[in-house]
Amino acid sequence: MRTHWRTYLIPALLLVTCMLLTACKSPAEQRICFFGSSVCRGVGAEELHGYAAQVTENLPAGWEIVNISIDGNNTYDLFARFDRDMTPVEAKYVVIGISLGNEGLHEKGTRAVLSYRENMPRLIRMLQEQGRTVIVTNNYPRADFNMVDYEDLCDVNLEVQQWDVPTINVFGTIDDGTGKWASHLWNGSDIYHPNQEGHEAMASAFPLTMWEALQAGKPMPEYIPTQGDENGVVGVSFVPEGRVQSYTLSYTSADTIYTEVYSAAQQKLWQYANGQLVAAREGIDKAVGTIIIEGSNIHQVLFYRAAMTEREVRALARGKMLRSSLEIYCPLLGGDITNYAQTMNCVTIHNK
> Residue 46 gets which letter from DSSP?
G
Helix (H, G, I), strand (E, B) or coil at 135: strand
| 64 vs 282: CA distance, rounded Å | 39
Residues 83, 123 contacting (CB under 8 angstroms) = no
Nearest to 339 by CA among 225, 231, 226, 219: 219
Nearest to 53 by CA among 97, 109, 117: 97
| 221 vs 210: CA distance, rounded Å | 13
Instruction: Write out the H or E segment, with its range, that includes residue 121.
Output: helix 110-129
Give the pLDDT of residue 147: 96
> Would you tell me how many other CB atoms lie within 10 Å of the CB of residue 135?
22
Give the pLDDT of residue 316: 96
Radius of gyration of the CA atoms of the chain, in A: 23
CATH of 31-206, one of 3.40.50.1820, 3.40.50.1110, 1.10.3720.10, 3.20.20.60: 3.40.50.1110
- Domain ranges in the chain? 31-206, 235-350
Residues 317, 274 contacting (CB under 8 angstroms) = yes
Q: What is the pLDDT along the chain (352 residues), one digit of tens a residue?
A: 344 444 334 334 333 333 333 334 454 899 999 999 999 999 999 999 999 999 999 898 999 999 999 999 999 999 999 999 999 999 999 999 999 999 999 999 999 999 999 999 999 999 999 999 999 999 999 999 999 999 999 999 999 999 999 999 999 999 999 999 999 999 999 999 999 999 999 999 999 999 999 999 999 999 999 999 999 999 999 999 999 999 999 999 999 999 999 999 999 999 999 999 999 999 999 989 999 999 999 999 999 999 999 999 999 999 999 999 999 999 999 999 999 999 999 999 988 5
Pairing mode of beta strands 235-238, 291-294: antiparallel
> Would you tell me how many other CB atoms lie within 10 Å of the CB of residue 155?
13
Cα dihedral: 170, 172, 178, 183 (round 10): -80
Pairing mode of beta strands 247-253, 256-263: antiparallel
Q: What is the pLDDT of residues 40-91, one digit of tens each?
A: 999 999 999 999 999 999 898 999 999 999 999 999 999 999 999 999 999 9
Instruction: Write out the H or E segment, with its range, that includes residue 347.
Output: none
Is residue 268 classed exposed, middle or buried when 0-12, 13-18 and 19+ CB atoms within 10 A define those classes? Answer: middle
Class of domain 235-350: mainly beta
Distances (CA, A) of 65 to 33, 92, 93, 156: 6, 11, 9, 28
> Would you tell me how many other CB atoms lie within 10 Å of the CB of residue 71?
13
Give the pLDDT of residue 28: 87
